[in-house]
Structure 1
Amino acid sequence: MSTKPKTVLIVDDDEGMRDTLTAILKREYRVLRVASGEAALPVLNREDVDLILLDIRLPGISGFEVLRIVKENYSLVEVIMISAINEIETAVQAMKHGAYHYVTKDFDYDQLRSLVRNASERQDLNRQVLTLSAQVADQTGREFIVGASKCTRDIVDLVHKIAKLSATVLILGESGTGKELLARLVHRESGEPEAPFIAVNLAAIPRELVESTLFGHERGSFTGAHRQQLGKFELASNGTLFLDEVGDLRMDLQAKLLRAIQEGEIERVGGTKPIKTEFRLIAATNIDLEKAVKEGRFREDLFYRINVIPIRLPPLRERAEDVPQLAEFFLKRYNARFRKRIQGITDPTMAMLTKYWWPGNIRELENLVERLVAVSDKEFIAEEDLPLEFHFAQLEPVGTTAKSLFEGATNTFERNYILRALEKCGWNVTGTAEYLGIPLSTLKYKMDKLSVRQLARRLRGA
C-alpha cells in the first residue's frame, strides 16, 4: 500500500522564516503555514497534522500555550520549538511541556531535515506501540489448522488465491469455528505479514462504546474522554481490520462503516475533519446477513460491499475428519503450556471425539483438551478421561443396528436417559427401576436391548 507524505504545520510570524522552512521540507512533506497560534488551532481541527514547527514568541497566544493545547488534544503530534535566541531555560521548559526538540533560527538545513525526520520516526514508533497493544496479547500458536477434510483444504486453496488482493472478505460460520484464525491466515498470506492485524469483536463491546472504539474520539467529545484516542480503523492503517460479529453493528454505525469502505475515510467522535484510512477489511458473522437485510436489520448496500469474497467455514460436525489433527495440535500446545508429557490420545478415545456433535465447534474441542491435559498424569488420554456426554453420544453401540432413523433416535434417547438415571442412583439397577417408576424386568430388558450394561461398565470405571 502506498504511504502518503506526512503533514508539517509551520507556525511562525516571520514570513521569511516560513518561506525558508517550506523550501527545506516541501520535497518530503506536505507543508501548511500560519502566522499565529490563533490561526494554527483551526488548522489542527481541520487537517490531519503530524508534525509542528512552532515559534516560541508569537503574537497573541504564545508558542508554549499552543504546545500545551497540542499535547492535551493531539498527543501523537510531535512538536519542534523554534526560537531566535539560545536560552537553556527556554529549552528545558519546552521539553517539560512535551516538545520533541528545541532549535534556534540559525539552524543548519541538513540538521533540521534530520531532526524532522527523527521526530517523524518517533511518531511512527508511538503509533506502532498503540497498534501492538491493540492486537491480541497472546499470539502464540494462533494459527488456522489445515485438517484432513476436503472442505478445509478447499478453503485454504481459496485463501491462497485471494490473500494478496485488496478485496473485502466475508467469513460466515457458527461461533467457535475459527473465523478469526482464518482471517489471520488471510492476513499472513497477503504478502505483508508484519503489517498490523487489528481484531474487533463487536458483540463484546458495550453498545455505547462501539463508535469511539472503531472510529476514535477527540478530547472532550463525551464524558470521560480526557484525551484524544485513535480508533481501530486508524490503528489498522496499511494493514488488516477484522470485524467479528459484524451483523451486530447498529444501523447508524453501519452507515459510517460503509463510508469508511467506499470513501476510505472516517471521522472521530467529536471530530470535525475526515481522516483518510487505508486497510484491508475482513468481516465475519454467525448470522444470516441476507435474512437480516430482508428484515431491515442490516443495510443492503453494506451487505453487498462486504460480501465481495464470501468464505463459509463449516461447523466441526460437518468436517469430523479434522478432529484428530486439531486434537493433537491442542495436545501439543497444552503439553507445552502446562509442562506435561502426555504422549497422545488413544484410538478408541479419538473415535469417540470424532463421533461427538461438537455444538461449540473448535473452541469446545480446545477447551476439552486443555482440561484433560491439565488434570491428567497419564501417558495417554483414554476413554475413561472423557466427560459423560461423550459416552452418551455413542449412537450405535456394538451389536445394535437401527432399522430406521426414528428407531435410532428413540434408542439413543432411551439409552442416554437410562444411563443418566443409573448414574444418579449410584449404578444400582433396582434403585434405578424404582426411580424411573418401571418394573425391574422392563429396565433389565431395555439395558440388554440397548447395550447399556457395556456402556455402564465403562462409565463406572471412568
Structure 2
Amino acid sequence: MEVDARCWLVEDGAKGARHLEALLGSLGWKVHRLSPPFSECGELDAIGCGVGVVLLDGLSSLHLGQLESLLIRSQCLWLAVASDSTIDNADNSRLVATLCHGVVAPDVASADLGCLMKHAAFLSCLQSQDAERRHSAAAMSSDAAEYEMVGTTPAMWTLFQTIRKVAAVDAPVFISGESGTGKELTAQAIHERSPRASAAFHAINCGALPDHLIQSELFGHEKGSFTGAVQRKIGRIEATDGGTLFLDEIGDLPLELQVNLLRFLETRCIQRVGGLEDIAVDVRIIAATHVNLEKAVEQGRFREDLFHRLNVLQIKVPPLREHQEDIEILARYFFERFSSEKSTRLKGFSREAMLVLRQYHWPGNIRELINRIRRAMVMCENPLIQPDDLGIERRKIPRHSMSLDQARDIAEREALVAALGRNKHKVLPAAQELGVSRVTIYRLMEKHGLSRPQACLAAKS
C-alpha cells in the first residue's frame, strides 16, 4: 500500500520547530506548517495529510484549546513531540492521551521518528479506506438517504425491492413485523418513492391514544360536538389529503372505529364527529401491527372485511436475528450517526463487542440495537467499546455446539455477504477483495443460497 508522504507540523514558534522540520524533510516528508491562531487554519481541510506532528514545547495555554479543536476536526493521526516537563502538565497530558497516536522526546533519533511516522501514515490510510467502505455499505442508495434503512443481506434486499414495487401503485399496504424492526421507516420509504411524495406523510399510533379520542383524532370534530369541543378540528385523515397516512398498531383500534375506517376505505369520504357533511378525501392508507391480525379476526377482535381492505399489498419486515450479517454494518452506521454523543477518545468497537453483538438474539430488534449502542458510547471509558459497555450479559447469549465444518460455512457466508455488500453486489470487486476468482464467488453464492438483487433501496437519517 502506497503512503502519501505529506504531513502537518503544528508549532507555536518553539526553537525546535525548524530542526524538527528539517529532520522530517530529511526522512522524505513534505512538511506543511501550521501556526497560531489554530482556529483560523482553514487549509487543514484543503490539503489531505494522513499524519501530523504536534510540537507541544512552547505552546501557550491560550492556544491549547484551539489545538484540541484542530486535532478533533482533522482526519489524520497525530504524533506529539514534547519534553517530560511539558507532559507533566495536566492539560497537555490529557491532550496527548486522548488525541495523539504516540509521543516522542524532542531529541528523538531520526530512525525512530521515521519508523513512527511511517506506521502512523500507514494506519491512517487503512482507517480512511475502512471509513469509505463503511460509508458505502451504510448508504447503498444515495437517493434515499433520509431514513435509517440499512442492509446488504438477501433478506433486506427483498424488503427493498418490495418497497419499490408497492410504492409504484396506490393500493393500501399492510406491514407486519415485530416491535422495533422499523415498520414506520418502511412506510416512510414507501411514501417517499410514491407519486404522493410531495404531499404530507402523517403517522398515528392507534394504541397510544385513549379510545374516546381516537375518532376525533382520525376524523376531526365540529365545534360543540361534545364537551370541550370549543372549535372545529381537522382530523389526521383530512389533514393528509393527497398524501399517505400510516396507522401503526392498527390491531389496537376499537371495533366501533373499525367500522368508520372501513366506510372511509370504501367511499373515500369522512364525516367529522358531530357533522353531517360527507367530505371527500384522497389518502393512501398504510397500516402496521406486531400482532397476528388473522388470529385477531378469528377471535372476533378485528373485523374481517376491514382486514381484507387493508391487506391488499403485504410487506413483512424481518427481525434482526434473520439478517445478522447486517449487525456490524448497522452498529458502525449508528456509531457514526450518534458520534456527537461520544467522547473524543472513543474510536469504535472491540472484536469482543462485535462478537457479542452478532451472537445476541435481539428481542427488541433494531430499536434495541440503537439503544444499546448509544448507551455504550456514553458509558465506555476506553478507546474501544467492550461487551460490558453494551449491557448484554453473556450468559443470556445462547450457546450452540457446532462442528468445524458448520463454523467454516458460517464464517464463509458472513465474509461473502459482507464483501458483496461493501461492493454493491458487484461480483468482480468482491472477488478481488476476497482474493478469489469470479467463478468461486458464483459457486459460493449458489452454495449459500444468495442471489444478486435487481435493484437496491437503502436509506438512513
Encode CA deviations 1:105-137: one digit per residue, 9 max, x unaligned. Answer: xxxxxxxxxxxxxxxxxxxxxxxxxxxxxxxxx
Query: Counterpart in 2 of 1:248?
Result: 252
- Matched-pair contact (CA < 8 Å) for 2:375–2:389: no
The one-letter code sitting in structure 2 at the alignment partner of 1:387 is: G
Match of 2:327 among 323, 326, 341: 323
Instruction: Pick closer, same or farther for the CA change 1:341–1:162 going to 2, 3 Å.
Output: farther
Instruction: Pick closer, same or farther for the CA change 1:370–1:388 going to 2, 3 Å.
Output: closer
How far residue 295 of structure 1 moved from its aligned partner, in angstroms, is: 1.3
Match of 1:159 among 163, 166, 170: 163
Any residues of structure 2 matched to 1:293-442 within 5 Å, and which?
A: 293-337=297-341, 342-390=346-394, 392-393=396-397, 395-396=399-400
How far residue 386 of structure 1 moved from its aligned partner, in angstroms, is: 2.8
How far residue 233 of structure 1 moved from its aligned partner, in angstroms, is: 0.1
Residues in 2 aligned to 1:371 and 1:398: alpha-carbon distance in whole angstroms: 32
Residues in 1 aligned to 2:346 and 2:216: alpha-carbon distance in whole angstroms: 46
The one-letter code sitting in structure 1 at the alignment partner of 2:340 is: A
Query: Counterpart in 1 of 2:240?
Result: 236
Residues in 1 aligned to 2:357 and 2:340: alpha-carbon distance in whole angstroms: 22
- Matched-pair contact (CA < 8 Å) for 1:323–1:353: yes
Q: Tell me, what secondary structure is at the counterpart of 2:203?
A: strand
Residues in 1 aligned to 2:395 and 2:331: alpha-carbon distance in whole angstroms: 17
How far residue 396 of structure 1 moved from its aligned partner, in angstroms, is: 4.8
Query: Counterpart in 2 of 1:37?
Result: none
Q: Tell me, what secondary structure is at the counterpart of 1:281?
A: strand
How far residue 273 of structure 1 moved from its aligned partner, in angstroms, is: 0.5
Q: Tell me, what secondary structure is at the counterpart of 2:207?
A: helix
Q: Tell me, what secondary structure is at the counterpart of 1:292?
A: helix
Q: Tell me, what secondary structure is at the counterpart of 2:338?
A: helix
- Matched-pair contact (CA < 8 Å) for 1:169–1:311: yes
Match of 1:183 among 160, 184, 187: 187
Query: Counterpart in 2 of 1:113?
Result: none
2:269 is equivalent to residue 265 of structure 1: yes
How far residue 395 of structure 1 moved from its aligned partner, in angstroms, is: 1.5
Residues in 2 aligned to 1:149 and 1:305: alpha-carbon distance in whole angstroms: 32
Residues in 1 aligned to 2:165 and 2:338: alpha-carbon distance in whole angstroms: 33
Query: Counterpart in 2 of 1:196?
Result: 200
The one-letter code sitting in structure 2 at the alignment partner of 1:221 is: S
The one-letter code sitting in structure 1 at the alignment partner of 2:291 is: I
- State percent identity of aligned pairs: 43
**Please, what TM-score do these two structures have when normalized by structure 1?**
0.54
How far residue 194 of structure 1 moved from its aligned partner, in angstroms, is: 2.9
How far residue 398 of structure 1 moved from its aligned partner, in angstroms, is: 11
Number of aligned positions between the proteins: 263
Q: Quick one: higher RCO (CA 8 Å, sep 6+), 1 or 2?
A: 2
Residues in 2 aligned to 1:192 and 1:379: alpha-carbon distance in whole angstroms: 46
- Matched-pair contact (CA < 8 Å) for 2:379–2:389: no
Residues in 1 aligned to 2:364 and 2:288: alpha-carbon distance in whole angstroms: 17
Query: Counterpart in 2 of 1:138?
Result: none
Q: Tell me, what secondary structure is at the counterpart of 1:218?
A: coil
Query: Counterpart in 1 of 2:446?
Result: none
Unaligned residue ranges in structure 1 (runs of 5+): 1-140, 402-462
- Matched-pair contact (CA < 8 Å) for 1:198–1:242: yes
Residues in 2 aligned to 1:205 and 1:391: alpha-carbon distance in whole angstroms: 38
- Matched-pair contact (CA < 8 Å) for 1:183–1:242: yes
Encode CA deviations 1:270-328: one digit per residue, 9 max, x unaligned. Answer: 11111111011100011111111111111111111110111111211222122112211
- Matched-pair contact (CA < 8 Å) for 1:217–1:225: yes
**Please, what TM-score do these two structures have when normalized by structure 2?**
0.54
Instruction: Pick closer, same or farther for the CA change 1:176–1:348 going to 2, 3 Å.
Output: same
Query: Counterpart in 1 of 2:230?
Result: 226
How far residue 336 of structure 1 moved from its aligned partner, in angstroms, is: 2.9
Match of 2:285 among 261, 281, 298: 281
- Matched-pair contact (CA < 8 Å) for 1:283–1:306: yes
Query: Counterpart in 2 of 1:453?
Result: none
Q: Tell me, what secondary structure is at the counterpart of 1:198?
A: strand
Residues in 2 aligned to 1:214 and 1:228: alpha-carbon distance in whole angstroms: 13
Please tell me whether Structure 1 or Structure 2 has the larger radius of gyration of its CA atoms.
1
- Matched-pair contact (CA < 8 Å) for 1:353–1:390: no
- Matched-pair contact (CA < 8 Å) for 1:335–1:341: no
Q: Tell me, what secondary structure is at the counterpart of 2:326?
A: helix
Aligned-pair Cα RMSD in Å: 2.6
Query: Counterpart in 2 of 1:149?
Result: 153
Instruction: Pick closer, same or farther for the CA change 1:256–1:350 going to 2, 3 Å.
Output: same
Of the structure 1 ranges 322-331 and 302-311, higher mean CA displacement relative to structure 2 is found in: 322-331
Unaligned residue ranges in structure 2 (runs of 5+): 1-144, 406-461
How far residue 340 of structure 1 moved from its aligned partner, in angstroms, is: 5.1
Match of 1:173 among 174, 177, 190: 177
Residues in 1 aligned to 2:378 and 2:245: alpha-carbon distance in whole angstroms: 34
- Matched-pair contact (CA < 8 Å) for 1:358–1:365: yes
- Matched-pair contact (CA < 8 Å) for 1:320–1:354: yes
Residues in 1 aligned to 2:345 and 2:248: alpha-carbon distance in whole angstroms: 36
- Matched-pair contact (CA < 8 Å) for 1:340–1:373: no
